[in-house]
Amino acid sequence: METEEPGGDVERLPAGLVAMTTHVGPYEDVTLAYQGLFAWIYERGHRPSGLAREAYLAGPENPVTRIIIPLEHSHE
């Protein structure tokens, strides 16, 4: 990671297809959002291609978590 400013990190990510969902609710329930997202991915014939990322958009009183999973490129 490259540091540009105090308190902030920059990470360069490759461009590509991703599946994404937003979980609104306690962090303890984020597993349910992952289960739903993976079901969506496989039901449509996609495959994950890397590590999931989480972005914490709000919290801790009213947590909002975005889950992003990179997908393999289709060769169709």
Q: How many of the other CB atoms lie within 10 Å of CB of 38?
A: 16
The H-or-E segment that residue 66 falls in is: strand 64-70
Q: Which residue has the tokens 């297809």?
A: 17
The confidence band for 3, taking pLDDT boundaries of 50, 70 and 90, is very low
Q: Which residues contact 62 (CB under 8 A, 6 or more apart)?
A: 24
Give the single-character DSSP code of 27.
G
Please report whether residue 5 resides in a domain. Answer: no
Q: Flag whether 9 is in a domain.
A: no
Q: Confirm whether 38 is domain-assigned.
A: yes
Parent domain of 25: 16-70
Taking alpha carbons only, the member of 73, 27, 15, 17 closest to residue 54 is: 27
Residue 10 resides in a domain: no
Q: Flag whether 39 is in a domain.
A: yes
In the chain, how many domains are there? 1
Per-residue model confidence as pLDDT tens digits over 43-76: 999 999 999 999 999 989 999 999 999 999 875 5
pTM of the model: 0.82
